[in-house]
Each structure stands twice: as structure tokens, then as C-alpha cells.
Amino acid sequence: MSQVDAFGRPVEPKTPTPPRWLLLARRLWVAGVLVGFAGSFVRLSDRSALVANLRQQAPELRQDQVDSAVTSTIASSLMMSALSLLVYVMLSTRMVQGRNWARIVLTVLGGLNALGTAMLSLLIGALGFDMINRLAGGTLTGVDIAFSVVIMFVDLAAIVLMFHPESNAYFHELRGRGPKQAVRP
């Protein structure tokens, strides 16, 4: 039986407020992407290193081709960072609104990132930077690893907060509600 107000209009049941843990998790997801963006910016700000790396990999290229390739690399990397930010903002907003699918997607993305960073750190510890760079054909640095490790810990903290008991209770309370009753953060 649905409730009605004094004028006989149907009253929607009160929707729960997102717990502070979910709001903090959303901030952490966005912060993790911004740290990744900062890492990309640091890496891409050294244009001479990018040119030298490309020259080493493809010495047959003319200077105008090298300049064009480096500019394209910088632009596409910044565009991918902006797209990642957009995706994580959208997913984390849906998660705060009580969409469990968004919580699952964020968990999978964060878990894969953490697993990849942990495995790379172990490989670097076992083989060293030089061997990893030779095998991968790249120029991985300690700064890259530092940014990756920070992002890994931020992602893990966000995952833990999304599954905090209060967060779980929030998702259980919203289970079964239709899209009309979605929560607005």
C-alpha cells in the first residue's frame, strides 16, 4: 500500500542518504585519476626525452615526422587522461547514487590496476629496470612506478570504502528500488 499526503497525492518513500564512506570513495576515485594525469603530465613534459626515445626506436624518421609523432603522442595521452577522468567521474557518481553495477565496475578496474602495479613492482625487483625496459621496449622510470604505486593505494582505499559495512547497508537498502527513486548525491 503506497502512502499519500494530506491532499491524496502519492508520497515516494524516503530515499537513504549515501554514507560518508561512499562520498569519500568517489573523491578517491577522482583523485586517483588526477594523480595518473599528473604522472602523465610529468612524463610528457620532457619533450626532449620523448624525441630521443622515438629517435632510438625509429632512426629513419625525418625531424618533421619525429616532431609530429611526439606532438600526437602528447595530445592523445592528454585526451586519454581526460577521457579516463570523465569515465571515473561518471562511474563514481553512479556508485554514490546506489548503482551496484558501477561499484562492481570500479572494483574490477581498481583491482586490475592494483594487480598490474604489484606484478610490475615484483618484476622490477626481480629483474631490474634495465631488463624490464629492454623487454618492454620502453623507458620506465622510478617516477612512473612511484605514481603507479600511489594510484594503487588510492584505488585500494576506495575499494575498501565502497564495501564498508555502512556502504553495504546503503546498497542493500536501495536494492529493489526503481530508477525513479535513484538517489541524488
Enclosing domain of residue 89: 19-175
Position 5 in a domain? no
Instruction: Give pLDDT tens digits for 2-50.
Output: 677 778 787 776 778 899 999 999 999 999 999 999 998 988 888 888 8
Is residue 25 within 8 Å of residue 161, measured between CB atoms? yes
Q: Is the pLDDT of residue 155 over 60?
A: yes
Q: How many domains is the chain built from?
A: 1
User: How many C-beta atoms surround the C-beta of residue 77 within 10 A?
Assistant: 15
Measured CA to CA, the distance from residue 86 to residue 76 in angstroms comes to 15
Position 138 in a domain? yes
Q: Is the pLDDT of residue 181 over 50?
A: no
Position 85 in a domain? yes
Is residue 125 within 8 Å of residue 135, measured between CB atoms? no
pTM above 0.95, yes or no: no
Position 3 in a domain? no
Position 141 in a domain? yes
Position 181 in a domain? no
Share of the chain above pLDDT 70, in %: 93
Position 9 in a domain? no
Position 132 in a domain? yes
Measured CA to CA, the distance from residue 97 to residue 92 in angstroms comes to 9
Residue 58's pLDDT band (boundaries 50, 70, 90)? Answer: confident
For residue 28 the three cell numbers come to 578517491
Dihedral of CA atoms 80, 116, 127, 59 in degrees, nearest 10, equals -20
